[in-house]
Amino acid sequence: MTLPSPPPRTFENVNLLRAFAALAVVVYHVIEHSHWTAFPVEGPLLVFRTGWMGVDLFFVISGFVIAYSALALYERDPPAFRAQYWRRRLTRILPLYLLTLVLWIAMKASEFFAQPATGWLWQLFTHLAFIHAWWPDTHGAIDGANWTLAVEMQFYLAVSLLVPWIRRTPAWIILLCATAVAWAWRATMYVLYAHVDFGLEFIRVSQLPGSLDEFAAGIVLAKLVLDRRIERIPGWAWVVGASMLGYVVFSLFWSHSLYWDVPAMVVFWRTGFAAFLACMVAAAVCLPQSLARRWLRPLDYLGDVSYGIYLWHLFAVELVIHMLGVKGLPALAAVLVLTILAASISWRWFERPFMALGRRPAHAEKKTPPAGGVVSDSPKAAST
């Protein structure tokens, strides 16, 4: 693939989706941890009872922004690709991840170090190696939501290794291969674990092979943006497509409330859901970016700090709900305020300085502009 004229440098509207995904996860965890039975079970707010779906939206967005950035970097300078790619990825993910890891262990020190040394050393090893999502005893053991970062990091590794193949392979073949792998993996995990342990079934199904169709949906969008084919479909058409797909996939979901006991839902449903989410991301790319730049500026900012929201919110849940015993709406308000405050501070004084280091051009790049596509230094185009 030879990149045409430079594509858009930033995708501010995608930040709105990041903000929604992060807030949905926060509200969902407040509902679950506080046993908030009075929270609405119908109407628009019902979406927050399925706030775990924010993770699926993050996976589709990651597929898009990571593939977009990786393909543009590879086109720009193939020999230097991996060094640049990993410098950016690690300076974006590791600093806050390690900070929250240390603080969570400190907060739970008496419990964490009460286990045998082999136990807490195993926890540290698996979390530092980003393989903690593979086993029940390490999955969610430290700052529970960060099991998804293990899946994300494994996806980054896959992109790093496969970027030449992704570059030359038609989008439909990538989607077909990824969907076949995801279906095969989910079907196998269902057969092995569905009638053994629900928790184990969830853990096994949620590993990277089982999420490949969601990441691939984002990769397809990245290729469509880079070769300018996405511009053939106006933003309103993507909105219509998302609405139609959303109606179908959620109708299926709500009509099969025993989701994990229905093999067809476990194996196939997430592919349709990924298509729905991909249409939402495509609409965000194609609609006027003034939505985020002007009309929805506060949500745009929450998209900037969404990584911090995701990693800090369980600290707030632990304090407000489990330590202070606050429940319901007051708990939600307190958790949101504390989480957004922590995320804003860490974004301004911790994350951005490290990101700047990761995006600092090498000496040889300073006088030589890229000949191919544009690689944005904006966190809105290349952050997770």
| pLDDT tens column, 124-133 | 999 999 999 9
Residue type, 354: F
N- to C-terminal Cα separation, the chain: 25
The residue-averaged pLDDT of 69-83 equals 93
pTM here is 0.91
Domain that holds residue 37: 14-382
d(CA 339, CA 195) in angstroms, rounded, equals 37
d(CA 291, CA 300): 9
**Is pLDDT above 70 for 38?**
yes
Check residue 373 and report its DSSP letter: S
pLDDT in tens, 226-263: 988 888 899 999 999 999 999 999 999 989 878 888 99
- Given pLDDT bands bounded at 50, 70 and 90, which one contains residue 9? low
Round to whole Å and give the CA distance between 182 and 219: 15
- Region 54-70: mean pLDDT is 96
Please indicate, yes or no, if residue 247 is contained in any of the structural domains: yes
In a domain, 4, yes or no: no
Answer yes or no: is 320 within a domain: yes
Q: Please report whether residue 261 resides in a domain.
A: yes
Residue 361 pLDDT: 66
In this predicted structure, what is the pLDDT of residue 357?
A: 87
What is the per-residue pLDDT for 370? Answer: 39
pLDDT (0 to 100) of residue 259: 87
Q: Is the residue at 341 inside a domain?
A: yes
Q: Is 8 part of a structural domain of the chain?
A: no
Backbone angles phi, psi at 43, to 5 degrees: 85, -175
In the predicted structure, residue 373 carries a pLDDT above the cut 50: no
Look at residue 371 in the predicted model and tell me its pLDDT. Answer: 37
Mean pLDDT throughout 314-333?
97
DSSP class per residue in 109-128:
HHHHTTS-HHHHHHHHHHHH
Mean predicted confidence (pLDDT) in 99-120: 95
For 35, the token pair is 């046993």
The pLDDT tens digits for 134-192 are 999 999 999 999 999 999 999 999 999 999 999 999 999 999 999 999 999 999 999 99
Q: Which residues contact 20 (CB under 8 A, 6 or more apart)?
A: 54, 57, 299
Q: Is residue 68 part of a domain?
A: yes
What's the total number of domains in the chain? 1
Q: Which phi and psi angles does 216 have, rounded to 5°?
A: -65, -35
* Residue 190 covered by a domain: yes
